[in-house]
């Protein structure tokens, strides 16, 4: 007679939940944790946490430094990049981009950072209907240090990534292109403090722009949205209004992606 089957499988959902909580602890505010700190923060039993950390380290999702502190590893970075690449970002947040276009009737830019190249790539643009306008082509790239949309994406990267970007040589694209590293750092700090960036003739002569980041749950920018306008249409009141609209758009777009709401639901 065969023996009755018994469920000997480990409580995988509970362990998986704990492992995900460990990974989600690593963000822009706390990029490194010791095992003791994680145990106190997450209240996971020591034996379980140690097993999870060793498994994640072995798979490349975590790296441990000489001081015994952990940070996200290459496997986690690759997973994030594959996830970003698999999303049709312009389609996913189309309603927000179109609403911003209707509200401003100016050039709308959606860009994603390419940290390895030190650039942002324009993945989508929406032209304005006015005769005097700024134009940009999807697929174009500009340095991460140049212009409001680019800096909105750069400001919310890790310190190490920012340092690496600023170590690259810079060239003038337009009369207002920022070249001095200390000036760029000041602008990045201002962007983090206000949630938006502003530029004046940095990538296009005769144009100013405002950009805001789309942030993931760790506080890192995976994209940025911008509005570019001819300088002859600049006023302080318009700039203030555009900043509010761009920031609201970026926040709403990131929330849509986080919630997984289909674009057709509110298109």
Same domain, 93 and 46: no
What is the tens place of the pLDDT at every residue in 131-155? 999 999 999 999 999 999 999 999 9
- Burial of 151 (C-beta count, 10 Å sphere; 0-12/13-18/19+): buried
Structural domain of residue 38, as residue ranges? 12-78
- Do 144 and 201 share a domain, yes or no? yes
Residue 51 within a domain: yes
Identify whether the C-beta of residue 152 lies closer than 8 Å to the C-beta of residue 196.
yes
User: Are residues 67 and 94 both part of a single domain?
Assistant: no
Q: The domain spanning residue 159 has which CATH number?
A: 3.30.450.40
Q: Got the DSSP string for 152-172?
A: HHHTTS-HHHHHHHHTS----
- In this structure, what CATH number is given to the domain that contains residue 35? 1.10.10.10
pLDDT beyond 80 at 11: no
Pair 122, 48 in one domain:
no
Q: Which residues pair with 133 in a beta bridge?
A: none
Residues 232, 111, single domain; the answer is yes
> Could you tell me the pTM of the whole model?
0.73
Give 3's pLDDT tier (boundaries 50, 70, 90): very low
The secondary structure of residue 4, as a DSSP letter, is: P
Q: Are residues 136 and 115 in the same domain?
A: yes
Residue 178, φ and ψ in degrees, nearest 5: -80, 130
Tell me whether residue 157 is in a domain: yes
pLDDT in tens, 208-249: 999 999 998 878 899 999 999 999 999 999 999 999 999 999
> How many domains does the chain contain in total?
2
pLDDT for residue 4 is more than 90: no
Which of 61, 78, 95 is the endpoint of a domain? Answer: 78
Tell me: do 74 and 95 sit in the same domain.
Answer: no
Given 34, 61, 78, the domain boundary residue is 78
Per the document, the length of the chain is 267
Pair (136, 225) in one structural domain: yes
End-to-end CA distance of the chain, in Å? 62
- Alpha carbon 222 to its chain centroid, in Å, reads 2
């Amino acid at each position: 007679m065969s023996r009755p089957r018994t469920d000997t499988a480990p409580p995988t959902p509970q362990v998986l939940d704990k492992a995900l909580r460990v990974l989600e602890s690593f963000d822009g505010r706390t990029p490194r944790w010791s095992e003791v700190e994680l145990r106190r923060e997450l209240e996971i039993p020591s034996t379980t946490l140690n097993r999870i950390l060793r498994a994640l380290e072995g798979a490349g999702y975590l790296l441990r430094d000489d001081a015994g502190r952990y940070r996200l590893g290459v496997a986690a970075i690759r997973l994030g990049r594959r996830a970003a690449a698999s999303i049709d970002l312009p389609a996913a947040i189309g309603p927000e981009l179109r609403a911003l276009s209707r509200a401003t009737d100016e050039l709308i830019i959606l860009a994603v950072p390419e940290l390895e190249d030190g650039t942002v790539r324009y993945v989508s643009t929406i032209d304005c209907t006015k005769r005097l306008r700024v134009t940009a082509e999807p697929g174009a790239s500009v340095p991460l240090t140049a212009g409001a949309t680019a800096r909105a994406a750069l400001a919310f990267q890790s310190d190490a990534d920012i340092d690496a970007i600023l170590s690259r040589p810079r060239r003038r694209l337009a009369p207002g292109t920022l070249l001095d590293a200390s000036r760029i750092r000041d602008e990045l700090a201002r962007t983090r403090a206000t949630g938006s960036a502003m530029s004046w003739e940095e990538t296009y002569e005769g144009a100013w722009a405002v950009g805001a980041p789309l942030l993931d749950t760790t506080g890192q920018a995976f994209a940025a949205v911008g509005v570019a306008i001819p300088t002859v249409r600049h006023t302080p009141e318009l700039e203030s209004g555009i900043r509010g609209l761009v920031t609201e758009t970026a926040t709403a777009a990131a929330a849509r992606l986080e919630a997984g709401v289909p674009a057709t639901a509110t298109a």
